[in-house]
């Protein structure tokens, strides 16, 4: 092995050991305060076993990203040390999934650079629920945007607001369909918006969006007469961001890939099949604009005169309610 590479690995090992020692000491102190004298017996062993399990999982997932590449190279020590530190006690698999993607993206034959460092830090700031929500959103959004074969770049899409069925979205995240955990999701989405992982979001039932649209109708008389016609009553609208797409690619080990990869229908962009995070798509997810139907002067859907005439007439809400 190249002397420079050996030196880099030694530095990473030293940094990792220093962190391990301090983390073990801190963990031991917490355990003693919770468990008393018995913690002296189990504390150090528990910390070591937890770190070992999580590090083994991280390295195994990182190696899978290499695929058929016989020499993926190695990551710069600064990046590797940051990823290792974040992975030590990352017991949620989605965290390891994303960290392994970042580490794999950073590997180069010459060690590369430290461009991956901000992405590792971002993962450390996000909860497991936020990471699952991010993956779920951009996994499903990809199916929507790549279906438009005439569009080859993300910026070509006029509307970036996508509607998800509320109950199915909650279930895919591992939350109760009845909405009892909804406040957790609302807090998670707010934090994701702050990190620019989505441009905006809104949630509610048809009545909510109809009421908002009605307020717009009073202000903007020129808006077309439309009605929201989704196959689900309660929904979440997400306006995606280019930064969110970048993060999705980094989490899948394609950190330096162009956004055209995200739209490539011939590429399979999924987490490790061994992951506990679902790769199944949610049914009926589509651009919000696809769910609005034009109405004639009678309030009927265009081309269906005399039908559904009693339905309230409202224009479409704008992206980012």
Higher per-residue pLDDT: 243 or 10 = 243
d(CA 128, CA 91): 10
pLDDT higher than threshold 80 for residue 104: yes
Instruction: Give φ, ψ of 4 to 5 degrees.
Output: -65, -40
Distances (CA, A) of 78 to 32, 148, 255, 281: 33, 40, 17, 36
**49-84 pLDDT per residue, tens:** 777 888 888 888 888 887 766 677 788 888 888 888
Sign of the torsion angle spanned by Cα atoms 240, 242, 248, 251: negative
262-269 contacts, C-beta under 8 A, 24 or more apart: 262/142, 262/145, 262/146, 262/154, 263/142, 263/145, 263/146, 263/151, 263/152, 263/153, 263/154, 264/146, 265/146, 265/149, 269/139, 269/142
**241-270 pLDDT per residue, tens:** 889 999 999 999 999 888 788 888 788 888
Res 215: pLDDT: 54
d(CA 30, CA 35): 9
d(CA 36, CA 28): 10
DSSP assigned state of 64: H
Least confident segment among 208-212, 228-232, 233-237: 208-212
**CB 237, CB 288: distance < 8 Å:** yes
Res 320: pLDDT: 40
Instruction: Give φ, ψ of 296 to 5 degrees.
Output: -85, -175
d(CA 178, CA 192): 23
**CB 320, CB 199: distance < 8 Å:** yes
Nearest to 277, CA basis, from 87, 108, 137, 107: 137
pLDDT higher than threshold 90 for residue 229: no
**264-315 pLDDT per residue, tens:** 878 888 887 677 788 889 998 988 878 877 766 666 666 544 344 333 333 3
Instruction: Give this prediction's pTM.
Output: 0.75
Helices (H), 173-241: 182-194, 206-219
Res 35: pLDDT: 45
Site of tokens 């020499």: 71
Query: Where does the pLDDT of residue 40 fall: very low under 50, low under 70, confident under 90, or very high at 90 and above?
Result: low
- Helix 93-106 and helix 128-146: axis angle, to 10°? 60
d(CA 95, CA 286): 27
Q: How far apart are the first and last CA of the chain?
A: 56
Query: Where does the pLDDT of residue 222 fall: very low under 50, low under 70, confident under 90, or very high at 90 and above?
Result: low
d(CA 263, CA 151): 9
């Amino acid at each position: 092995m190249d002397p420079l590479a050996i030196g880099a690995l030694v530095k990473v090992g030293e940094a990792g050991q220093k962190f391990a020692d301090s983390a073990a000491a801190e963990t031991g102190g917490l355990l003693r305060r919770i468990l008393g004298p018995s913690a002296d017996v189990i504390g150090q062993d528990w910390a070591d076993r937890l770190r070992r399990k999580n590090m083994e999982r991280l390295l195994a997932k990182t190696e899978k990203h290499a695929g058929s590449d016989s020499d993926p190279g190695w990551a710069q020590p600064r990046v590797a040390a940051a990823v290792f530190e974040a992975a030590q006690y990352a017991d949620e698999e989605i965290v390891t999934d994303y960290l392994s993607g970042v580490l794999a993206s950073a590997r180069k034959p010459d060690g590369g650079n430290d461009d991956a460092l901000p992405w590792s830090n971002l993962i450390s700031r996000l909860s497991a629920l936020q990471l699952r929500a991010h993956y779920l959103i951009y996994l499903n959004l990809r199916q929507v945007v790549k279906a438009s074969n005439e569009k080859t770049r993300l910026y070509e899409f006029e509307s970036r607001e996508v509607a998800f069925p509320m109950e199915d979205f909650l279930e895919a995240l591992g939350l109760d369909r009845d909405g009892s955990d909804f406040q957790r999701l609302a807090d998670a989405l707010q934090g994701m918006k702050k990190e620019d992982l989505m441009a905006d979001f809104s949630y509610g039932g048809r009545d909510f969006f109809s009421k908002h649209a009605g307020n717009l109708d009073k202000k903007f008389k020129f808006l077309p007469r439309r009605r929201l016609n989704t196959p689900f009553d309660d929904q979440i609208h997400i306006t995606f961001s280019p930064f969110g797409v970048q993060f999705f690619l980094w989490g899948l080990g394609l950190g330096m890939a162009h956004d055209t990869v995200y739209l490539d229908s011939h590429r399979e962009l999924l987490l490790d099949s061994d992951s506990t995070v679902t790769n199944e798509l949610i049914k009926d997810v589509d651009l919000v604009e696809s769910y609005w139907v034009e109405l004639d002067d009678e309030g009927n859907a265009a081309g269906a005169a005399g039908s559904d005439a009693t339905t309230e007439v409202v224009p479409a809400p704008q992206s980012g309610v």
